[in-house]
A and B are shown apart, each in its own frame.
Chain A
Amino acid sequence: MDKVGIKHKRDDKVKAWMKKETAEQKKRYQVIVAHMDAIASQRDKWVANFLKRIQKRGFNTDRDVFKIIKPEEIPIQPKRKFKVSF
């Protein structure tokens, strides 16, 4: 036994249940990735607004401490696909 579990054997019913849940999780992940792709243009607007705000009001470095970010500090978007699900 370790802190989170006791070693045990799984019977066929439990194995079948796990197989089904595994398939559903993988399917759900694909649905989420597609949804995240679908809102990409909205996300781009949110990002643009964020980059404006941190140059005007500031970036939260720790708690309520703000640092104004200079235009030359703003990162440049790489050419690769903008992924949020991994």
Chain B
Amino acid sequence: MARPHIEPFVDRDADYKKMTLPGFGTGMHYKMLSFDTDTGACTMNVRFDSGYKRSPGFSHSEIEMFVLKGSLKFGKQTYIEGHYFVIPPGVFMPALSASKGAEVLLMYNGSEPSHTESDADHDGADRSRLAEVNSYSGMPWITPNIHPGTNTGCLMKILKFDERTHALSFLFVMAPEFWQDNISYHDCAEEVYHIWGTTWMMQFGYLPTGGYFWRPPYINHGAFHCKRGAIAFGRTDSELHNHFHFNPWSNVKENEERAVSRLQHRNPEVYKWALGHNHNHPDPADFEYPDDHSH
């Protein structure tokens, strides 16, 4: 069933658990935020105890990591609050250490958490996709260039953009007294973790610091309000399109059908092609990605 709809969840309400999976050593604790029950892909709040050390190595899964508190090292390089990483599967990283402890958001995107000790990349690993940036000091806030878009007072930093799926990882802030009177849903799953601050959504109520959601596609959320400001980390698994409306009671099936109707009018040629009997198959070829095509 992939990841269930977890909204809202506040990690302050949960205790850390010891990480007992092989390869992670002792001194790593986690709060599971959401978990894909088929693949083991997951998002966790992780605490590394003071003095935590892990051997060099790689994961079977793509990893994203965001440093919430404290600092950690890969090898001799120190990374502090706000640092964000994308580590492709099979790409080895130097030894990890957290001499004074750290708290991170840790996301395994393809499978369950894993760590294989190694000082070399796995065969076929794509090191060119390894990326890291300090999102707090190394990037400017931008007005989201998504149409239709959020009101003035919501700003973003795009940390990761997948050029094929348009999936995003991002930081966002809401200014004090941000208010937006519409209901939204998306064609993508959406995930948010509140680093600091409280926001309100009409369906789910107040989400404070440590608040989290994993929301599958087509689920209504909004209106939106943020009284004192908030900063959060978010992700989507494909393009973030805002389907705004004002029907509080529409359900997932109705929202999905409306999205297709809107596609029919917004992108009629693609819609007609997808429905065409002569080439209506579920896996159209993309000449830029020949290996992904199963026919």
Interface of A with B (CB < 8 Å)?
1-6, 8, 10-11, 13-14, 17-18, 21-22, 24-26, 28-29, 32, 36, 39, 42-43, 46-47, 50-51, 53-54, 57-64, 66, 69, 74-75, 77-78, 80, 82-86
Interface of B with A (CB < 8 Å)?
3-9, 20-22, 32, 34-35, 37, 39-42, 60-62, 88-90, 109-112, 114, 122, 124-126, 147-152, 180-182, 202-205, 216, 219-220, 223, 244, 246-252
Contact across chains for B244 and A62 when beta carbons are under 8 A apart: yes
Q: How far is the CA of A46 from the CA of B35 in the complex (A)?
A: 31
**Using Cβ atoms and an 8 Å threshold, which residues of chain B touch A62?**
147-149, 244
Contact across chains for B9 and A63 when beta carbons are under 8 A apart: no
Q: How far is the CA of A11 from the CA of B267 in the complex (A)?
A: 47
Contact across chains for A29 and B6 when beta carbons are under 8 A apart: yes
Contact across chains for A59 and B246 when beta carbons are under 8 A apart: yes
Contact across chains for B111 and A5 when beta carbons are under 8 A apart: yes
Contact across chains for A61 and B205 when beta carbons are under 8 A apart: no
Contacts known (A75-B249, A82-B249); A42 close to B112, Cβ less than 8 A:
no
For the complex of A and B, the 6 pairs showing the least CB-CB separation, nearest first, are A5-B110, A4-B110, A62-B148, A84-B203, A4-B62, A22-B37
- Option from B4, B32, B109, B219 in Cβ contact (under 8 Å) with A4: B109
- Option from B40, B61, B110, B182 in Cβ contact (under 8 Å) with A59: B182
Q: Is the interface of B mostly helix, strand, loop or mixed?
A: loop
Contacts known (A1-B89, A63-B148, A84-B220); A77 close to B246, Cβ less than 8 A:
no
Contact across chains for B150 and A28 when beta carbons are under 8 A apart: no
Once A and B bind, how many residue pairs between them come within 8 Å at the CB atom?
152
> Of all chain A residues, which has the CB nearest B204?
A84
**Using Cβ atoms and an 8 Å threshold, which residues of chain A touch B250?**
75
Contact across chains for B247 and A21 when beta carbons are under 8 A apart: no
Smallest CB–CB gap between B31 and chain A, Å?
Answer: 11
Contact across chains for B252 and A36 when beta carbons are under 8 A apart: no
Q: How far is the CA of A6 from the CA of B20 in the complex (A)?
A: 21
Q: How far is the CA of A1 from the CA of B59 in the complex (A)?
A: 12
> Of all chain B residues, which has the CB nearest A4?
B110
Contacts known (A1-B90, A25-B35); A8 close to B60, Cβ less than 8 A:
yes
- Option from B4, B124, B202 in Cβ contact (under 8 Å) with A43: B202
